Amino acid sequence: MSRMTTPHVHTYHCTFCSHLLLASTHIISALPTRRAPGLDNATIVPLQENTESDSDREYTLLLTLTRDRAAKVVAREDGFEKRVLWRCGRCKLIVGYMLDEEKRRGCLYLLPGAVVESSELGQGEPEGQAA
């Protein structure tokens, strides 16, 4: 009989106001980022599509993020992109987005420096985020 292990859950806060935003078994800094022509280097955070399943060991929960109702059109080098913006539930700072056509595909793009892990709160600026 195999022994089940409990996954380690990392919690992340808004960099600006320290409000708890999401919890994930993923280490955000270790996830891939968007490359050109994206130009924003947003971190690609996979979301669990089926929240009913307990079998998936990797997941991300959007705890207090609020989603804009309407998509924004962003001009890019290779054309246009429709984004649905996600904001901090407290200060309303934009922390990420989903591509409009991927609303149900389970992927959130987190903007660089938008979140900080709980263990790094109160330790000054996150590594690589100095002004």
In this predicted structure, what is the pLDDT of residue 126?
A: 53
In this predicted structure, what is the pLDDT of residue 131?
A: 39
List, for the chain, all residue ranges whose pLDDT scores fall below the cut of 70: 1-4, 37-38, 49-56, 102-105, 124-131
What CA–CA distance (Å, rounded) separates 91 from 35? 28
Are 116 and 16 in contact by the 8 Å Cβ rule? The answer is no
pLDDT in tens, 74-100: 988 888 889 999 999 999 999 999 998
| Phi, psi at 124, each rounded to 5° | 85, -160
Contacts of 102 (CB under 8 A, 6+ apart): none
Q: Tell me, yes or no, if the pTM score tops 0.75.
A: yes
Q: Distance between the two ends of the chain, CA-based, in angstroms?
A: 52
Are 16 and 91 in contact by the 8 Å Cβ rule? The answer is yes
In this predicted structure, what is the pLDDT of residue 83?
A: 92
Are 31 and 43 in contact by the 8 Å Cβ rule? The answer is yes
In this predicted structure, what is the pLDDT of residue 2?
A: 58
Domain 10-120 class, CATH top level? mainly beta
What CA–CA distance (Å, rounded) separates 109 from 88? 14
What CA–CA distance (Å, rounded) separates 125 from 131? 9
Domain boundaries, the chain: 10-120
Are 46 and 30 in contact by the 8 Å Cβ rule? The answer is no
In this predicted structure, what is the pLDDT of residue 84?
A: 93
